[in-house]
Amino acid sequence: MSIAAEAARRRTFAVIAHPDAGKSTLTEALALHAHVINEAGAVHGKSGRKSTVSDWMEMEKDRGISVASSALQFEYAPEGHEGEPYMINLVDTPGHADFSEDTYRVLTAVDAAVMLIDAAKGLEPQTLKLFRVCKARGLPIVTVINKWDRVGREPLELVDEIVNEIELQPTPLYWPVGIAGDFRGLAHINDDGEADNYIHFIRTAGGSTIAPEEHFSPADAAEKEEDTWVTAVEEAELLAADGAVHDQELFEQCVTSPLIFASAMLNFGVHQILDTLCEIAPAPRSRDSDAKAVETSTTAIDEVREVTDEFAGVVFKVQAGMDRKHRDNLAFMRIVSGQFERGMQVNHAQSGRTFSTKYALTVFGRTRDTVDVAYPGDIVGLVNAGSLAPGDTIYAGKKVQFAPMPQFAPEAFRILRAQSLGKYKAFRKGLEQLSAEGVVQILRNDLRGDAAPVMAAVGPMQFEVMQARMELEYNVETVTEPIPYSVARRTDAESAPELGRQRGVEIFTRDDGEIIALFGDKWKLAFVEKEHPELTIETLVAD
């Protein structure tokens, strides 16, 4: 099969949402419907909840939340599909706001997003933020209203909220039959906005296996469900009359969002989500080189990398400690173009060095399989690629260099120390590797020294992850101390000396070489900006 044909059957997407919206449960359910696993890993009740296969960190298993992204790959063929099955590359992401940076990196590596919304809570702050990030990046969004088996809000109310809050028009593909808490099935909505099929679900014990389905014509559905079916049809027709029908072009332009109602816990509506992604989600496409790299490079750079060009990939995440027995370091790479072959010699665009890709894996939670060949859209883990960092480009043939990975502005700061001076070497190694992964940003200066660096993060839970992983993976117990700063800004070498003389301001260097000024609070920042307009003080934001 040609590279173009392989790329065409790839669907690479992320699952994103607010915490506890059911992302990891949906990931399990999708894998179950693809027959990758035999039984879902989530069961009713927090006390009986198993960790899902995509959660591999001890903290995730203990708390029942995802704090790191996890990439899963499997084949799936919708019913009636002819030819080769689709290759699904699914990335489950952390929903907690403290891990927004990890989620943002994932969004640079996928072609579409599934946004999960809790039927009872609707659009929550983190959901709103992620919707806007997707829309700003031009990432097509499929909206799934989850937990429809529980008491929740009216479906039309949820649609109105999405339209009003983020100006994204949901277009129903599968509309619920039965109110929230009385989920009987789904009405399939065709391109004319008409309900042309009723899918009735039959519950299974605990929702751990695929829910059987019964299909009914509209006439038979009306006889079976009576007023409940009539209500569903009327609601769908009301939206269709308002223009809320699926249009592929508007979907890919992020103007509309196909809408599906589901219960991931009961496995209701799950294969409909997979079928929809296979049918309408975009396949891998060409990617532009970083404009700055093109301008400054002394060698010729491909300005656009087509999927059929020679191999190129971009690293979007680096993760250590996934296999404690081997203490390895795994760089997750999204393949952008060409055919990847394990063992091939590739070039590192940022350093100009070459290296071999001898150890390449696909990762399913803690399960690893060697990958020999991969194509555009696939996500591959390169083992012990220590020189790689998020945002790096690797390639074969003509040079290409994709845009660097933006970093979020940190809002929380703590000093980190090793409890034992005898662990200093391991402490340094842990800092280096976990900082490269992006667990936290590490800030240093001569005054505090290497033994007491400052951790900078989007939220304080990142500090807990940092300490837990330092202990589990590097056998280093650490303590943290507060530091009297709450605002970070970028500055330069010319402005740093004067800024450092200001009361309530301290200058640091981040691991990537950026000079960072920390201010006591926003009022101190405003005062310094007013008194010294000549100094460089720039906002740290994700572009």
Question: Is 226 or 127 the better-scoring residue by pLDDT?
Answer: 226
Q: At residue 16, what is the residue type?
A: I
- Is residue 136 pLDDT above 80, yes or no? no
Two structure tokens written together for 245? 């029908």
Q: Which CATH class is domain 412-539?
A: alpha beta
Residue 95 annotated as part of some ligand binding site = yes
The pLDDT of residue 254 is 92
397 contacts 313 by C-beta, under 8 angstroms: no
SS3 content of the chain, % helix, strand, coil (to 5): 30, 30, 45
Q: Count the neighbouring beta carbons within 10 Å of the beta carbon of residue 497.
A: 10
Residue 47 CA, chain-centre distance (Å), reads 27
Whether residue 305 has pLDDT greater than 90: yes
Task: For 508-520, write each residue's pLDDT tens digit.
Answer: 999 888 999 999 9
Domain 287-395 has CATH 2.40.30.10: yes
Cα separation, 285 vs 289, whole angstroms: 13
Q: What percentage of the chain reaches a pLDDT higher than 90?
A: 57
pLDDT confidence of 41, banded at 50, 70, 90?
Answer: low
- How many residues appear in the chain? 543
pLDDT in tens, 410-422: 889 999 999 998 9
pLDDT of 152 reads 94
Tokens representing 512 are: 């990537």
User: Which one of 19-28, 55-64, 392-401, 402-411 scores highest in mean pLDDT?
Assistant: 392-401
Longest dimension (CA), the chain: 79
Identify the bridge partners of residue 115 per DSSP, sorted by sequence position: 16, 143
228/39 Cα distance (integer angstroms): 31
Q: Which 8-state DSSP code applies to residue 211?
A: P
To the question of whether residue 94 is assigned a binding role by annotation, the answer is yes
Pick from 102-106, 284-288, 339-343, 456-460: least confident: 102-106
Report the distance separating Cα 391 and Cα 393, nearest Å: 7
| Residue 215, annotated as binding a ligand | no
For residue 538, give the DSSP letter.
Answer: E
DSSP state of 99: G
Average pLDDT of the chain? 86
Question: At 97, which amino acid appears?
Answer: A
Q: Kindly report the number of other CB atoms within 10 A of residue 112's CB atom.
A: 20
Lowest-confidence segment of 155-159, 183-187, 196-200, 537-541 by average pLDDT? 537-541
Residue for token pair 């990617």: 287
Residue 401 φ/ψ, nearest 5 degrees: -145, 115
Tokens of 510: 């981040």
Please give the pLDDT value at position 229. Answer: 97
Bridge partners (DSSP) of residue 143 are 115, 259
What is the pLDDT, as a whole number, of residue 472? 84
- Between 318 and 75, the more confident residue is 75
State how far the Cα of 261 lies from the Cα of 173, in Å rounded to an integer: 9
- Indicate if the pLDDT at residue 273 is higher than 90: yes
Phi, psi of 288 (to 5 degrees): -80, 145
Judged by average pLDDT, the poorest of 60-69, 266-275, 385-394, 431-440 is 60-69
Q: What angle do CA 29, 336, 306 make, to 5 degrees?
A: 130
Whether residue 44 is predicted with pLDDT greater than 70 in this model: the reply is no
pLDDT bin (cut points 50, 70, 90) of residue 526 is very high
Residue type, position 437, single letter: E
Dig out the tokens for 386 from the structure. 């220590």
* E strand or H helix at 413: strand 412-418
Amino acid sitting at position 347: N
Q: Which residue has the tokens 């990030």?
A: 133
DSSP per-residue letters across 52-79: PTT--SHHHHHHTS--S-EEEEEEE--T
* Dihedral Cα 332, 334, 339, 344, nearest 10 deg: -30
Structure confidence at residue 257 (pLDDT): 96
Average pLDDT on 111-132 reads 86
Q: Reduced to 3 states, what is the DSSP secondary structure of residue 179?
A: coil
Residue 247 has what pLDDT? 95
As a whole number of angstroms, the distance between CA 388 and CA 238 comes to: 52
Residues 117, 263: contact at Cβ < 8 Å?
no
Q: Mind listing the pLDDT tens digit for each residue in 356-409?
A: 898 888 776 567 788 999 999 999 989 877 678 888 999 999 999 998 876 667
Work out the angle between the directed axes of helices 155-166 and 227-241 (0-180°, nearest 10).
20
Domain ranges for the chain: 3-280, 287-395, 412-539
**Whole-number Å distance between alpha carbons of 413 and 323:** 29
pLDDT value for 321: 52
Residue 480 CB burial class (10 angstroms; 0-12, 13-18, ≥19):
middle
> Taking a C-beta distance cutoff of 8 angstroms, is the pair 201, 177 a contact?
no
Which string of DSSP letters, residue by residue, matches 454-509? EEEESSTHHHHHHHHHHHHHH---EEEEE-S--EEEEE-TTTHHHHHTSTTEEEEE
User: Does the pLDDT of residue 214 top 90, yes or no?
Assistant: yes
Q: What superfamily in CATH does domain 3-280 come from?
A: P-loop containing nucleotide triphosphate hydrolases (3.40.50.300)
Q: Please list, in sequence order, all residues whose beta carbon lies within 8 angstroms of the beta carbon of residue 333, skipping any fewer than 6 positions away.
A: 313, 314, 315, 316, 379, 380, 381, 382, 388, 394
Q: Tell me what pLDDT residue 220 has.
A: 97
The tokens of 143 are what?
């909206």
Output the pLDDT for position 502: 95
CA–CA distance, 12 with 26 (Å, rounded to integer)? 16
d(CA 181, CA 152): 7
